[in-house]
Amino acid sequence: MKIFVLNCGSSSIKYQLFDMTDETVIAKGLAEKIGNPEGHIELKITNPKNKIEVNLPLADHSVALNKIMDMMTENGVIKDKSEITAIAHRLVHAGEYYHGSVEVTDDVVFRIQECNDLAPLHIPANIIGIRTCQKLFPDTFMSGTFDTAFHHTMPDYAYMYPIDYKYYEKYRVRRYGFHGSSHFFVSNRAAEMLGKDIKDLKIVTCHLGNGCSMAAVDGGKSIDTTMGMTPLEGVMMGTRSGDVDPGVIFFLADKEGGHQAVNKMFNKNSGLFGVSGISNDMRDIRKARDEGNKRAALALAMFTYRIKKYIASYAAAMGGVDVVIFTGGIGENVGEIRERSVEGLEFMGIKMNKELNNTICGSEAVVSTDDSKVKVMVIPTNEELVLARDSKKLYEEKFGKK
């Protein structure tokens, strides 16, 4: 069984092709600058290892997907697209409609479109991806996995906002959370690595990349997470502010050009980039800090301080913590950020193996000491594998094993 995993953005497509016999990645890549006269497609083949890149006009997602299929057949990845058993879509938002992965049907697409106001930048791109695949693969099974689904187990006192209740009733204004597939994967992988039943573990997961979110996972269920109705709430991120006094928004809207200007400011020009004035890339910021840049040093201090606060607050929410996990581009690769994010939490039972922590980059490891009451772990995330597994399960439930 081969499953094609797709993550469609407004001008890009990220993809992976899995052989579900052993869950290996056959090929993966990216199409970008869709809609531009100078588009780019990258195909990375696992065995034999090969990388192919082409530059060409990509008028729309259909053109890009057709070219990806051509590149995979021309380079022997597949004989033709009929080899693909199922297509798994990463979908950003399900509102309150779906609490798990689903087969993509016209009714599901209709429900997703009803959630457009909740994620106006992402949902149209998700719909484009689905409609394109329906044209190119009319007889192929398709599934959808929602970023929000894992967090549906949050209790109402965690997901509700302390505003007039009528706005929840009218518009479903509440906290939904994102990065669900990542938090699900790393928390379950931690239980496997530790030889524990996840039902017996209290875990804080830290997904740190350009977008950052954290979750309190109690017994395998998300009971709280940092992102809210949108991905803007929570910890400080690459270009997003994270938590901020709402009064600041009103103040700056009056001073800086209104709603749209401030919306862009908080989403695109804040976070690490906004504070440092340099970049949203952690490598650039650390380099500038080492060269004496005080704003870069401030950005790093703010970033880790806010992570630390959430670790402690989630321990309080769960009545303790057994494991803290770091994942995502920053979480997996920057030992300094992991160390600073738990510094001062020794009272909770965290003891870091600093020497080991500083050597771990992009691989699984326990980076706390053997006698640390709380295990600190690094686990590379694999959201695409979660999507592929869910798609395989749904396919087999409908058609039987293949």
What the block records as the tokens of 343 is 């510094």
Nearest to 59 by CA among 36, 41, 79: 36
**Beta-strand pair 84-91/2-8:** parallel
**Beta-strand pair 365-366/50-56:** unpaired
Q: Which of 147, 218, 224, 322 is catalytic?
A: 147
Following DSSP, what letter does each residue of 84-108 receive, concatenated?
Answer: EEEEEEEES--TTT-SS-EE--HHH
Nearest to 88 by CA among 156, 142, 137: 142
- Specify whether 147 is catalytic: yes
Q: In angstroms, what CA-CA distances link 129 with 12, 15, 36?
A: 10, 11, 17
Is the Cβ–Cβ distance between 11 and 36 less than 8 Å?
Answer: yes
For residue 61, what is the DSSP state?
Answer: H
**97/108 Cα distance (integer angstroms):** 9
Q: Which residues are catalytic?
A: 147
